[in-house]
Amino acid sequence: MSSFIGLENRAPRDMMDTTSPPMKQVERREWWLWSLVVIINLLLTAGIASFALPLLRSETDNSLNIQQSLRALLGLVLLFDIYSLYQQFQIHRIRRQLMSRDDMFRVISENAADLIAVVDANGKRIYNSPSYERLLGYTAEELRTTSTLEQVHPDDRARVAHAAEQARKSGYSERIEYRILHKDESWRVLESTASAVRDASGKSNSLVIVNRDITDRKRAEERLQHDAFHDALTDLPNRALFLDRLGRAFSRAKRHPEYKFAVLFVDIDDFKKFNDSLGHAAGDDVLVQIAQRLTSSLRKDDTVWRQPQGGEGPPASQDNVARLGGDEFTILIEDIHDASDPIRVATRIQKVLAATPLSIEGQEVFASASVGIALSTSPHDSAAGLLRDADLAMYRAKALGKARCEVFDTAMHATAVTRLKLETELRKAIEHGELRVHYQPIVRLSDTKIVGFEALVRWERPHVGLVLPAEFIVVAEESGLILPMNRWLRLEACHKMRSWQAEFPSNPPLTLSLNVTAKEFAHPGLINDIVQALEQTGLEPSSLQLEIVETVAMRDAEKPENVLRQAKSLGVRLSIDDFGTGYSSLSRLRHFPADTLKIDRSFISRMDIDADNRAVVRTIVALAHNLGLTVVAEGTETLEEVNELLAIDCEYAQGYFFSRPVDEQTALHLLRTGLCTQMSSSRVAAAKPLSLSARNSF
């Protein structure tokens, strides 16, 4: 890895080149030299032999001695020649072995996928495998002439140098990862180890460095990491990442008390309508486009983003938008001065949404958003707590009419805490059987006979007493507890009504009115639940009257899977509750499968003294009759109201004048004594309210 050491380059093949043709030249020369030595030796031997031969032939004592010496010398010279030849063969064999190992190394390094480099003791590059060119795009010439530490990412250079140093000292470096610049200007990631090569004296004089290109693996890991922290649809950060960033903001605020930030909780108004009317794919498209608008509306030059103190750099504004799920987005706004900063951002978001319609599947649709704001100065010091505050503020913005923004305050927090407590207690109340059903009679005005009862839930709280639904029905609705609660109530009331019908037969039989809320309406199991309750208790569908408030009923009528029509087809009767409060167009009533209108008590009360109220009630009654609907006057409290109702032909009434909602024993007592039936229309004017006994029992 010459890049690893980052010094001067040489051509990658340099080292290999020394192992073949030059080596052969050296060998050839050696052979010449050795041959010369041997020839000279042989010539010398021959010379000695010719000089010594006459002496060898003489037979004097002296010559005998010289003969022996010469033979010995001759033998030694021959032995030396043989030994020299033998050594030359050995050296040749070892060199051949080394050459074949060099060849093997060359073949391995040239064909290896890894990048292999050798650097000398001075850090000079001795060799780069050809894969350098393949993987990093640099030719041998370019590698020779460029300094490769420059190609290493500036942030990684110190680590690379340290690893090389480590390898020189201890023999091996630890495995490191670093980025290197490809010729095409992209960054590649290499995984690298370095090993020292030591000389005979034990000194490390060069390093062999093996790099592996792990760019693809790294990208796959980064993709996985990205996916774990980003929303697949919009590619925005998800809840986990947002909470993490929020946590960091909190830590920073602890270190720098002057640093303040805010969370915006953005919820698209009536998002469901996009899904319902255009389909889910279009709904997704709406979310993607809104995500884009949110990010684009957070400009970096916004006055909100001033250079933060503490030198941690300006926040990457667009990264601070997250999608929590569904139609909920959050935005972290850093370095604010006061609440006006996030409010300005929220207002701009709303303006951006309102300015131009979204283009969804060729259609232009407008979307608005409700925004809740929580400031870091709120009582919470946890990311999740602050997010909850912003969520609460968003709910307040929705409740106050949508397409607006609200800033969280401590009163909101207190309400939320109380609500949460109530929800927990209500959950327990359902489990512990603390709920009761009370029944309020519905009376036929012509003969003041009880024709049915409306079942109304009560909560018998230990140490508190009887709690009215106004205090808990909204919590039950929002938490979803309304579903198990009303399932229980339906069974209980149907059962009771069945037994009353058996004991007090009439024609038509007594009816049971049950309230159905918006949440129940949206619940797909509602019709099934009703069928089950009827089957289990044996109550006829025609004896059941479902009360739906006007707004929910009208919304349902627009849906293709119209729940009301399904209920109607079962034979169940339908009643529009609190009629007159929902601003529904009277003409639409015609297309609505209702049997009864219950006029809201706000119109009934004071109708005896308020001419306007009287006119409204008269109009509603006339209209209902024209449409073939019967009318129940809710909240009838006085004799005068009763007489007025009789005068305008209203058939039924319900209210404290006849009876308050009562427990089942009192309801049974009312049925047994027929107290309500003692009144006849002719005697109404003289009659006293007959529900006194019931009132006393409350």
Q: Where do contacts with Mg ion occur on this chain (CB under 5 A)?
A: 515, 547, 577-578, 634
DSSP class per residue in 270-292: THHHHHHHH-HHHHHHHHHHHHH
| Contact stretch for ligand C2E (CB under 6 A) within 66-74, 110-118, 469-477, 496-504 | 469-477
Work out which of 94, 200, 224, 470 binds ligand C2E, going by CB under 6 A: 470
- Within 564-583, the residues that bind ligand C2E by CB under 6 A are 577-578
Closest to Mg ion by CB, 231 vs 634, is 634
Q: Using alpha carbons only, how large is the chain's radius of gyration in Å?
A: 49
Sheet of 321-325: strand order equals 321-325, 328-334, 261-268, 369-375, 405-407
Closest to ligand C2E by CB, 264 vs 485, is 485
Residue 640 is a binding residue for ligand C2E (CB under 6 A): no
Residue 666 is a binding residue for ligand C2E (CB under 6 A): no
Determine the distance from the C-alpha atom of residue 420 to the mean position of all C-alpha atoms in its chain, rounded to a whole number.
25
User: Which H or E run contains 512?
Assistant: strand 511-516
Residue 489 near which of ligand C2E, Mg ion, none (CB within 5-8 Å, type-dependent): ligand C2E
Closest to ligand C2E by CB, 283 vs 635, is 635
CA distances from residue 97 to 84, 93, 130 in whole angstroms, order as listed: 20, 6, 24
Residue 128's beta-bridge partner residues?
117
| Contact stretch for ligand C2E (CB under 6 A) within 185-193, 196-204, 395-403, 463-471 | 463-471
Work out which of 129, 317, 515, 575 binds ligand C2E, going by CB under 6 A: 515
Closest to ligand C2E by CB, 317 vs 654, is 654
Residue 178, classed as helix, strand or coil, is: strand
Closest approach of Mg ion to the CB of residue 525, in Å? 21
Whether residue 308 is preceded by a cis peptide bond, meaning omega within 30 degrees of 0, is: no
- Within 533-552, the residues that bind ligand C2E by CB under 6 A are 547
Closest approach of ligand C2E to the CB of residue 467, in Å? 10
| Contact stretch for ligand C2E (CB under 6 A) within 364-372, 404-412, 557-565, 654-662 | 654-662
Closest approach of ligand C2E to the CB of residue 244, in Å? 41
Closest approach of ligand C2E to the CB of residue 614, in Å? 17
| Contact stretch for ligand C2E (CB under 6 A) within 154-162, 179-187, 384-392, 649-657 | 649-657
Closest to Mg ion by CB, 192 vs 659, is 659
| Contact stretch for ligand C2E (CB under 6 A) within 291-299, 313-321, 633-641, 680-688 | 633-641
Residue 457 is a binding residue for ligand C2E (CB under 6 A): yes
CB 663 within 8 A of CB 695: no
Closest approach of Mg ion to the CB of residue 679, in Å? 23
Work out which of 177, 191, 434, 637 binds ligand C2E, going by CB under 6 A: 637
| Contact stretch for ligand C2E (CB under 6 A) within 290-298, 618-626, 635-643, 662-670 | 635-643
List, in sequence order, every beta strand (DSSP E) within 112-229: 115-120, 125-128, 176-181, 187-198, 204-213
Closest CA to 422 of 465, 474, 377: 474
Residue 109 is a binding residue for ligand C2E (CB under 6 A): no
Residue 468 is a binding residue for ligand C2E (CB under 6 A): yes
Angle, in degrees to the nearest 10, between helices 21-57 and 61-111: 170
Burial of 632 (0-12, 13-18, 19+ CB in 10 A): buried
Closest to ligand C2E by CB, 452 vs 635, is 635
Binding mask 589-608 for ligand C2E (x = CB under 6 A): ------------x-------
Angle, in degrees to the nearest 10, between helices 239-255 and 215-229: 80
Work out which of 249, 456, 534, 557 binds ligand C2E, going by CB under 6 A: 456
- List of residues 6+ apart from 451 with CB closer than 8 A: 442, 443, 444, 506, 508, 510, 511, 652
The count of other CB atoms within 10 Å of the CB of residue 465 is 9
Closest approach of ligand C2E to the CB of residue 611, in Å? 21
Work out which of 635, 666, 670, 676 binds ligand C2E, going by CB under 6 A: 635
Work out which of 370, 440, 479, 630 binds ligand C2E, going by CB under 6 A: 440
CA distance 106 to 116: 11
Burial of 97 (0-12, 13-18, 19+ CB in 10 A): exposed
Residue 486 is a binding residue for ligand C2E (CB under 6 A): yes
Residue type, 455: A
CA distance 266 to 272: 15
Work out which of 151, 517, 543, 691 binds ligand C2E, going by CB under 6 A: 517
Closest to ligand C2E by CB, 156 vs 547, is 547
Closest approach of ligand C2E to the CB of residue 639, in Å? 12
DSSP class per residue in 181-198: E-TTS-EEEEEEEEEEEE
Burial of 7 (0-12, 13-18, 19+ CB in 10 A): middle
**Which tokens sit at 517?**
């809320």
Residue 466 is a binding residue for ligand C2E (CB under 6 A): no
Residue 661 near which of ligand C2E, Mg ion, none (CB within 5-8 Å, type-dependent): ligand C2E
| Contact stretch for ligand C2E (CB under 6 A) within 145-153, 194-202, 416-424, 648-656 | 648-656
Closest CA to 305 of 286, 292, 318: 318
Closest to Mg ion by CB, 330 vs 515, is 515
CA distance 241 to 228: 9
CA distance 636 to 108: 100
CB 407 within 8 A of CB 378: no
Residue 461's beta-bridge partner residues?
465
- Provide the residue count of the chain: 698
List contacts with ligand C2E (CB under 6 A).
Answer: 440, 456-457, 468-470, 473, 486, 489, 515, 517, 547, 577-578, 601, 634-637, 654-656, 661
